[in-house]
């Protein structure tokens, strides 16, 4: 059921965000991106986006029902989809298992472009920074840290950080330990966010694969590799 906005301002805000998502999503044609079929404006009070229905649901649900599936291929699929987005200067902004669906061929499909943005395009930026457990450290608010002059903003580098966490969860079926439930942390919590090798079985995540993912979690955004590099190195490590 589509919930009606409470007032005119909310309705205008909804339409603005809706149009932006359509503009971002509609041109994206890639095997690892959920396709947008179209827009429906006559069945509900507000317009809705139409996309294929995948009965397997998101990747977390899929893995619970199909634990024997080739997880490495799913990781590479997510990386390939993200590489496509970044090649088109699109920051997803909210990469997490719930935003990766699996189609009937077992192919990973990135979805939900509600807070995605097109870099260097007026009107296609957003102040929303994603879902706390999968957010890069520079997007979190540190309550006992130094004051910052600008609000945090998602980037390709923050997408890469999130990808590393999603990939680890796909490979292990375990959410990363010590992740915050809210986007507010202490400096002590921030220092402990990076996943630790000792928490994961080497039979599940090989050393070569861990080395690639660990680079995604580098604290300084500018020192993280591009997703194209991550994809190439993961493919070799698998």
The 8 Å CB, 24+ separation contacts for 215-224 are: 215/164, 216/160, 216/161, 216/163, 216/164, 216/167, 217/161, 217/164, 217/165, 217/193, 219/137, 219/194, 221/136, 221/138, 221/155, 221/157, 221/158, 221/161, 222/157, 224/157, 224/160, 224/161
Half-sphere exposure of 89 (CA within 13 A, CB side): 6
Strand-pairing partners, residue 48, are 40
Distance of CA 217 to the CA centre of its chain: 14
94 counts as catalytic? yes
* Catalytic residue, candidates 42, 89, 94, 149: 94
Active site residues: 94
């Amino acid at each position: 059921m589509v919930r009606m906005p409470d007032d005119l301002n909310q309705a205008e805000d909804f339409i603005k965000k809706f149009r932006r998502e359509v503009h971002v999503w509609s041109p994206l044609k890639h095997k690892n991106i959920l396709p947008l079929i179209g827009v429906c404006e006559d069945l509900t009070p507000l317009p809705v986006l139409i996309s294929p229905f995948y009965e397997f649901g998101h990747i977390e649900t899929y893995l619970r029902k199909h634990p024997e599936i080739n997880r490495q291929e799913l990781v590479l699929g997510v990386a390939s989809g993200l590489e496509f987005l970044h090649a088109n200067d699109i920051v997803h902004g909210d990469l997490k298992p719930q935003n990766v669906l699996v189609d009937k061929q077992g192919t990973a499909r990135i979805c939900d472009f509600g807070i995605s943005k097109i870099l260097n395009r007026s009107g296609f930026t957003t102040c929303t920074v994603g879902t706390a457990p999968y957010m890069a450290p520079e997007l979190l608010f540190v309550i006992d840290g130094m004051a910052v002059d600008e609000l945090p903003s998602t980037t390709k580098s923050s997408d890469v950080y999130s990808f590393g966490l999603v990939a680890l969860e796909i490979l292990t079926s375990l959410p990363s330990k010590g992740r915050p439930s809210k986007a507010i942390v202490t400096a002590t919590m921030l220092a402990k966010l990076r996943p630790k090798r000792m928490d994961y079985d080497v039979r599940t995540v090989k050393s070569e694969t861990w080395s690639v993912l660990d680079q995604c979690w580098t604290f300084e955004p500018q020192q993280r590799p591009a997703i194209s590099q991550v994809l190439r190195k993961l493919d070799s490590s698998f």
